[in-house]
Amino acid sequence: MTSPHDPYVRVRGAREHNLRNADVDIPRDTLTVFTGVSGSGKSSLAFGTIYAEAQRRYFESVAPYARRLIHQVGAPAVGEVTGLPPAVSLEQRRSAPGARSSVGTVTTLSNSLRMLFSRAGDYPEGAERLDSDAFSPNTAAGACPRCHGLGRVHRTSEELLVPDPGLSIREGAIAAWPGAWQGKNLRDVLDALGHDVDRPWRELDPADREWILFTDEQPVVTVHPVREAGRIQRPYQGTYMSARRYVMHTFADSKSATLRAKAERFLSSEPCPVCGGSRLRPEAMAVTFAGRTIAELAGLALTELAGVLAAAGGDGTARVLTADLLARIGTVNELGLGYLSLDRTAPTLSSGELQRLRLATQLRAGLFGVVYVLDEPSAGLHPADTEALLAVLGRLKEAGNTVFVVEHQMDVVRRADWLVDVGPLAGEHGGRVLHSGPPAGLAGVADSATRRFLFPDAPPAPREVRAPSGWLRLFGVERHNVRGVDAAFPLGVFTAVTGVSGSGKSTLVGQVLAGALVDRRGAAEDQERPVIGYARAEGLEAVDRLVQVDQRPIGRTPRSNLATYTGLFDVVRKLFAATPLARERGYRAGRFSFNVTGGRCETCQGEGFVSVELLFLPSTYAPCPDCHGARYNPETLEVTLRGLDIAQVLDLTVESAAGFFAETPAAARSLGTLLDVGLGYLRLGQPATELSGGEAQRIKLAAELQRARRGHTLYLLDEPTTGLHPADVEVLMRQLHGLVEAGSTVVVVEHDMAVVAGADWVIDLGPGGGDRGGRVVAEGPPVAVAEAPESRTAGYLRAALG
């Protein structure tokens, strides 16, 4: 029995996922870290059990109708949890914000800035005061009427619509037209209107070409289709639509993402001529504060914005509002994010940046008596910024809250009040609580994979650095805060690019270097047009192939998973189609796909989940009432392969699947590479939306490793250690160094000093973020950069070198 004054959160019999009837007691009002290798069960305990249980109770308390919902969502598999306060999760994996959200909306700083403009802005003579909504491009009251608040307008041109004017209309000159019947219809309508559809496009009269492509008229004519494929077709009334009209209409209104993307290829976009890209209507743009428009202020780095607001002074209302803004910007700045601007859109932020923005926002919310659950808040943070993070977490605790974080960075772990270590390994080899107590106590836990990293016995043995086989040089790099920099990347070795958040690492490596390599080879059709951003390059020809392994999700819907991404699913479906029962019933491979009608469960359309819309609460997913998450209909599930149906195969972990498919070379190879990158604990059908950025990156890497290698490849990785326990980092580094041994070049952007210390070459950017960064502060082998006087990385690197 626990008394109400029992200061512990007590968990009894946790069985969620791989947890093995785990019991754990954690004191409230502490900073507690959860550690363990990937897949050990840390998140299942912190999020899947503790947070989920708090959430369940919250639902129950706010609305009786929620009982029905909880019934559907399911309570976590746990015997009992006592002493649990309400919980707030700052994890962002499952709740990525939309394209219209920005730093300003996530932090709600935009609301305050609008209030300032509404109440205390300088209005033109005679203008009426505007409501604060009128300063938001996301409301009807504020959006620019020309571009509807998008800031850009789309245009098309003859060159885009007709890429090959040597073709006739019948031969497909108008590339933008739809295919199949609709395209043929438009051609026949033009024919009926008296245009020559068999002459090369360039020989047609310019006035006719103009009309065909751009007219807004929609004439209706009687079309007498020519006989095709022996079928007699009856005359019908056909309506003409110009190519521009078709493209614009499809781009704006089509429900199909594929059609929209195709239409976009025939459009060029440019800043809106009315609002100049500010997205706001002219009345709002006429109002200023401290001599600037709201769009100008939203475009400043937060540190600069704070400077402008602090200097503005002003009377009563203005002072109260600016003081509030300054305090809140201060917290964001403290978390190392002062280089961001309010108008920076959420999709361009990393998950670490987003989580820290939410953290800063929470700090001002003034809640107490709450458990905050965070997922690796140090992701994307330079060690120099980790101190500030710890200070902010400390403030949340001082305010009377409990802070639970899943973490891999030992500097954070050492500073925690309490440590819960889960393991010893992943999946079925984990799921036990090995230690729950002050961090020092872990020293005596022999089983723990974390122990040797928290208490290292000896510095790593010094390693001979490799000599480069050549150099790739970029001169005059100009982009974002990187201004007129020359950069040199050694080939055939492992390079780490370091620097505080916002110093320009992703700009230099992810955009300019990657863009230089893509540009030289001609962008593939599905790639975005490369960023150029440099004056001159040398040595690009030595690289045959660029492989960028980033942390973007492998898919945005629960329909993608690692089996679909790696191609393993194709192999598996063919195996199922080849079973005697499938052949007898005429089931082909497609029958075993949950993405198409036939084999899938139609209630959930193969998702396994149905979305439950809630009044006042974020909508949530509940298991499908018909297939209970299996995704398939019962007939399909009757087909088994050595005792398992297709849903059961998708439920296997990579590790068990490797055993199950050991005799199928095509499957065994991709499963082997997934094991090599430490993903043995993932289930084949785990939806892409449940994978972390780090897991997505390792899946991409595995898919890449299984490909045949030819020529000189340059691999670019952005913080590959995110989400990885130091023991997993060792496994990954062996893989990456293996690529270098095989003659490739590896360039990683990285904060983990163990990785940087093990590199052959280091490029340190900085010294600060935003305008205070963007220069190459130091470059050379790790031992040399560790001594560089101006570098904020040097001290941490020195410590890691031992």
Q: Which residues bind ligand ADP (CB under 6 A)?
A: 17-18, 36, 38-44, 339-340, 348, 426-427, 480-481, 499, 501-507, 653, 681-683, 690, 770
Given the complex with ligand ADP, which of 530 and 770 has the nearer CB atom? 770
Does residue 601 belong to the site contacting Zn ion (CB under 5 A)? yes
Partner in contact with 604, chosen from ligand ADP, Zn ion, none, beta carbon below 5 to 8 Å by kind = Zn ion
- Residue 252 Cβ, how far from Zn ion at the closest point, in Å? 15
- Residue 41 Cβ, how far from ligand ADP at the closest point, in Å? 4
Of 288-296, 448-456, 560-568, 602-610: span binding Zn ion (CB under 5 A): 602-610
In the list 603, 738, 790, 795, the residue contacting Zn ion (rule: CB under 5 A) is: 603
- Residue 660 Cβ, how far from ligand ADP at the closest point, in Å? 16
Partner in contact with 503, chosen from Zn ion, ligand ADP, none, beta carbon below 5 to 8 Å by kind = ligand ADP
* DSSP string of 351-370, one letter each residue: HHHHHHHHHHHHHHHT--S-
Tokens describing residue 168: 């006739």
**Rounded (5°) CA angle 464-469-472:** 115
Of 266-274, 327-335, 647-655, 771-779: span binding Zn ion (CB under 5 A): 266-274
Given the complex with ligand ADP, which of 56 and 480 has the nearer CB atom? 480
Q: Are strands 418-423 and 432-437 parallel, antiparallel or unpaired?
A: antiparallel
Tokens describing residue 543: 């690289």
Given the complex with ligand ADP, which of 294 and 449 has the nearer CB atom? 449
Binding characters for Zn ion, 97-136, by CB under 5 A (x = yes): ----------------------------------------
- Residue 646 Cβ, how far from Zn ion at the closest point, in Å? 14
- Residue 71 Cβ, how far from Zn ion at the closest point, in Å? 17
- Residue 504 Cβ, how far from ligand ADP at the closest point, in Å? 4
Given the complex with Zn ion, which of 273 and 738 has the nearer CB atom? 273
Partner in contact with 272, chosen from ligand ADP, Zn ion, none, beta carbon below 5 to 8 Å by kind = Zn ion
Partner in contact with 601, chosen from Zn ion, ligand ADP, none, beta carbon below 5 to 8 Å by kind = Zn ion
**Residue 85 and residue 55 in contact, taking contact as beta carbons nearer than 8 Å:** no
- Residue 523: other Cβ atoms inside 10 A: 12
Of 13-21, 96-104, 258-266, 596-604: span binding Zn ion (CB under 5 A): 596-604
Specify the 3-state DSSP secondary structure of 158: helix
**What does the alpha-carbon distance between residue 547 and residue 412 come to, in Å, rounded to a whole number?**
32
Note the residue count of the chain: 802
- Residue 428 Cβ, how far from ligand ADP at the closest point, in Å? 7
In the list 204, 275, 335, 491, the residue contacting Zn ion (rule: CB under 5 A) is: 275
Given the complex with ligand ADP, which of 402 and 793 has the nearer CB atom? 793
Partner in contact with 504, chosen from ligand ADP, Zn ion, none, beta carbon below 5 to 8 Å by kind = ligand ADP
- Residue 123 Cβ, how far from ligand ADP at the closest point, in Å? 30
First-to-last alpha carbon distance for the chain, in angstroms, is 49
**What does the alpha-carbon distance between residue 627 and residue 91 come to, in Å, rounded to a whole number?**
29
Instruction: Give the DSSP letter of residue 50.
Output: I
Does residue 604 belong to the site contacting Zn ion (CB under 5 A)? yes
- φ and ψ of 620, to 5 deg: -140, 170
Binding characters for Zn ion, 548-587, by CB under 5 A (x = yes): ----------------------------------------
**What does the alpha-carbon distance between residue 420 and residue 430 come to, in Å, rounded to a whole number?**
13
**What does the alpha-carbon distance between residue 468 and residue 495 come to, in Å, rounded to a whole number?**
10
Given the complex with Zn ion, which of 624 and 749 has the nearer CB atom? 624
* Runs of H (alpha helix) within 605-721: 634-637, 646-650, 654-660, 665-676, 693-705
Nearest Cα neighbor of 329 from 110, 92, 122, 132 is: 110
Tell me the site size for Zn ion, rule CB under 5 A.
Answer: 12
* DSSP string of 734-793, one letter each residue: HHHHHHHHTT-EEEEE---HHHHHT-SEEEEEESSSGGG--EEEEEESHHHHTT-TT-SS
Could you tell me how far CA 461 lies from the centroid of its own chain? 36
- Residue 405 Cβ, how far from ligand ADP at the closest point, in Å? 12
Tokens describing residue 176: 């933008």
Residue type, 340: L
Partner in contact with 603, chosen from Zn ion, ligand ADP, none, beta carbon below 5 to 8 Å by kind = Zn ion
Instruction: Give the DSSP letter of residue 532.
Output: -
**What does the alpha-carbon distance between residue 377 and residue 723 come to, in Å, rounded to a whole number?**
10
- Residue 176 Cβ, how far from Zn ion at the closest point, in Å? 24
Of 29-37, 201-209, 274-282, 750-758: span binding Zn ion (CB under 5 A): 274-282
Residue numbers 129-148 binding Zn ion by CB under 5 A: 144, 146-147
Residue numbers 605-634 binding Zn ion by CB under 5 A: 624, 626-627
- Residue 175 Cβ, how far from ligand ADP at the closest point, in Å? 30
Tokens describing residue 327: 């305090």
H/E segment holding residue 419? strand 418-423
Partner in contact with 356, chosen from Zn ion, ligand ADP, none, beta carbon below 5 to 8 Å by kind = none
Given the complex with ligand ADP, which of 318 and 759 has the nearer CB atom? 759
Given the complex with ligand ADP, which of 130 and 627 has the nearer CB atom? 627
Instruction: Give the DSSP letter of residue 429.
Output: G
Given the complex with Zn ion, which of 601 and 639 has the nearer CB atom? 601
SS (H, E, C) 492-527: CCEEEEECCCCCCHHHHHHHHHHHHHHHHHCCCCCC
CA distances from 686 to 138, 570, 691 (A): 35, 16, 8
**What does the alpha-carbon distance between residue 742 and residue 674 come to, in Å, rounded to a whole number?**
19
Partner in contact with 427, chosen from Zn ion, ligand ADP, none, beta carbon below 5 to 8 Å by kind = ligand ADP
Name the packing angle between helices 726-741 and 693-705 (round to 10°). 30
Given the complex with ligand ADP, which of 18 and 673 has the nearer CB atom? 18
Binding site for Zn ion (CB under 5 A): 144, 146-147, 272, 274-275, 601, 603-604, 624, 626-627
